[in-house]
Amino acid sequence: MPRILTVDDSRAIRMIVAKQLQPLGFEIGEAEDGNDGLAKLQSAAYDLVVLDVTMPNLDGPGMLAKMREGGNKTPVLMLTSESKTAIVATVMRLGISDFVLKPFKGDELKAKVLKALKLPADYAAPGGAPVAAAATPVATTAKRVLVIDDMENVHKKVRSLIPAERNLDASLNAADALALCRSNPYGLILIDGDLPDTNLPSLTKQLRLLQPKAVLVAMALRTANNVTGEMRAQGFEDVLFKPFVNEAVDALLERSFQEDQELVSAQENCLKLAGFHGRDDKLEGYFQKLSAKLKEAMSKLAEGCFDSAVLDASQLPLGQPMRAAQFMADLSKVSADCGVALRLVGSAELAAVIGGFEEAKSLRLFQSVEEARAAA
């Protein structure tokens, strides 16, 4: 059973932390300042410390420094209202797992604690029900795009350039953007490189803490010299030049959502095809990559002596039926070449698409993965 130490001078916060985590079966210890926290760590081992920054006697960074000096490597999750750059830099240098900015929602805290403990997002107390998936949006919701620019036309322009299926949020200023970042996961954050009244290095640091996996990109004019260098010095990874061009936006999306683009996922001999969320002119590229990935996956199955497999193609785009049918025909050939019989899962629409292709007729189609497995 994981043991967690909450160190905060506020009894209310310690109580809230305990209330959120005890139902997960965690054992919670409490300390009211850094000195008390160090004493508790000496008397018992903990799996995680949830640590405030501003406290009397010995503050959070002070306690963290003493822990690390003494060789204590217990993971630390900072839970604080403090975002001063120097303090954030210090605690990051000393090694923290993550940051939760107050005010915080219980679900956000739970999700970050589970992540810090390397536990699954649906972790349940032994004998208890799993944490409801809907209660952990940070861990389960698809990543989004955030645009921060004081000109609404920029929001509209970005919206017009990214696929409709990709969720986009927009904010006119840094404060609203940070509020959005507390409750949504982002894969790509586009920020006006000339956002009024904003300390950009400070903003990028705060965004980095809240969204460690997001790609931070500055939107800037081409006219200035060495824009890319200047923006990188302010904490950005890249620059998107205004006015925008399709190719640059596409490249950023591909880079930012790479992990979402696992085209073929495999679990033993059950393969699942990812859907397509791009513009129409990118569909051909999707099919080509998908074919290559499937060929690899089928070869691996053959190497593993599987003579049959289930392929969940329910997400396959059918907007260009001829292309989809051609893909299926190619797949049928690969299946035969590898000696792995495929049982396909898909809709009646997919059945109609492949029904007209002689080459794909050898593929057996089922309505669900369970049905396909049962037919083995």
Binding site for another protein (CB under 8 A): 9-13, 15-16, 19, 53-56, 80-87, 101-105, 174-175, 178-179, 197-199, 202-203, 206
The set of residues, in sequence order, having a beta carbon less than 8 Å from that of 194 and lying 6+ positions away, is: 220
Judged by CB, which is closer to another protein: 56, or 304?
Answer: 56
Cβ 266 to another protein shortest distance, Å: 41
Cβ 94 to another protein shortest distance, Å: 17
Judged by CB, which is closer to another protein: 199, or 258?
Answer: 199
**CB-CB neighbours of 245 under 10 Å:** 12
Cβ 163 to another protein shortest distance, Å: 31
Judged by CB, which is closer to another protein: 177, or 325?
Answer: 177
Cβ 318 to another protein shortest distance, Å: 43
CA distances from 82 to 53, 103, 214 (A): 7, 11, 21
Judged by CB, which is closer to another protein: 211, or 256?
Answer: 211
Cβ 54 to another protein shortest distance, Å: 5
Cβ 200 to another protein shortest distance, Å: 9
Judged by CB, which is closer to another protein: 96, or 310?
Answer: 96
